Amino acid sequence: MMLTIPDVLDPQQVRQCRQALEQADWTDGRATAGHLAIKAKRNLQLPADSPVAARIGDLILDVLGRTPRYLAAALPLKVVPPRFNRYEGGGEYGNHVDNAVFSVPGTPHRIRSDVSSTLFFSDPDEYDGGELIVQDTYGEHRVKLPAGHLVLYPGTSLHRVTPVTRGTRYAAFFWTQSLVREDSQRSLLLELDDAIQALTQQVPDSPELSRLTGVYHNLLRRWSQT
């Protein structure tokens, strides 16, 4: 399942975050790449101990905890604190699959990367290139969203970021360990949840809503891993 969630951050939040990112101290992104990914990765990242990363990351997690669409789609159990990258001057990230498990810096916790997410801080007209390209069984999906918008997709996906040939692309990226490990099951639950929400608006007094809601929770109970 690949899903876009618009306006996760409002324009004022985007401006404040963008100003902080522009003034932050960036390091070579290859420092966090694996032995294979290091050959494909050319970008800048905020270091793990960056106070800017911590401050903006906390804001993102707080907002996501109040974003129904993200909660319904990702069914989050644990979230890796957001990280931040910057692409410019031909910077790119070639085809790769994210690590299956990530350690949370400064803690003993480890998180499985069921769902990958990118939150954009640059508008599409600010840079050329920089598309996130995600491959699945239906082909390639090209993503270049307005600032404040979020895309999430299965952590198992092969994906890349095309070279940024003009301007600068700022983004946050992070991973979610879901209550439901399998993407196909999460997709079914989201489809069922969407149908329940639509019926609630159309026929709010229907007794079938209780039955459908029960089916949703019984499936979640069957598939969830805590």
Q: Would you say 171 and 30 are in contact if contact means Cβ atoms under 8 Å apart?
A: no
- Does 149 belong to an annotated binding site? no
Angle, alpha carbons 86-169-66 (nearest 5°): 90
CA dihedral 161, 7, 82, 54 (to 10 degrees): 130
Q: What is residue 138's three-state secondary structure?
A: coil
- Does 35 belong to an annotated binding site? no
Q: What phi and psi, each to the nearest 5 degrees, are found at residue 162?
A: -75, 160
Q: Would you say 135 and 110 are in contact if contact means Cβ atoms under 8 Å apart?
A: no
Find, among 52, 32, 63, the residue nearest to 170 by Cα. 52
Q: What phi and psi, each to the nearest 5 degrees, are found at residue 28?
A: -65, 125
The span from the CA of 193 to the CA of 118, in Å, is 23
- Does 169 belong to an annotated binding site? yes
Q: Would you say 57 and 46 are in contact if contact means Cβ atoms under 8 Å apart?
A: no
Residue 46 has a CB neighbour count (10 Å cut-off) of 25
- What tokens does 50 get? 């960056």
The total number of residues shown for the chain amounts to 226
- Does 159 belong to an annotated binding site? yes
- Binding site for 2-oxoglutarate: which residues? 169
- Binding site: which residues? 96, 98, 159, 169
- Binding site for Fe cation: which residues? 96, 98, 159
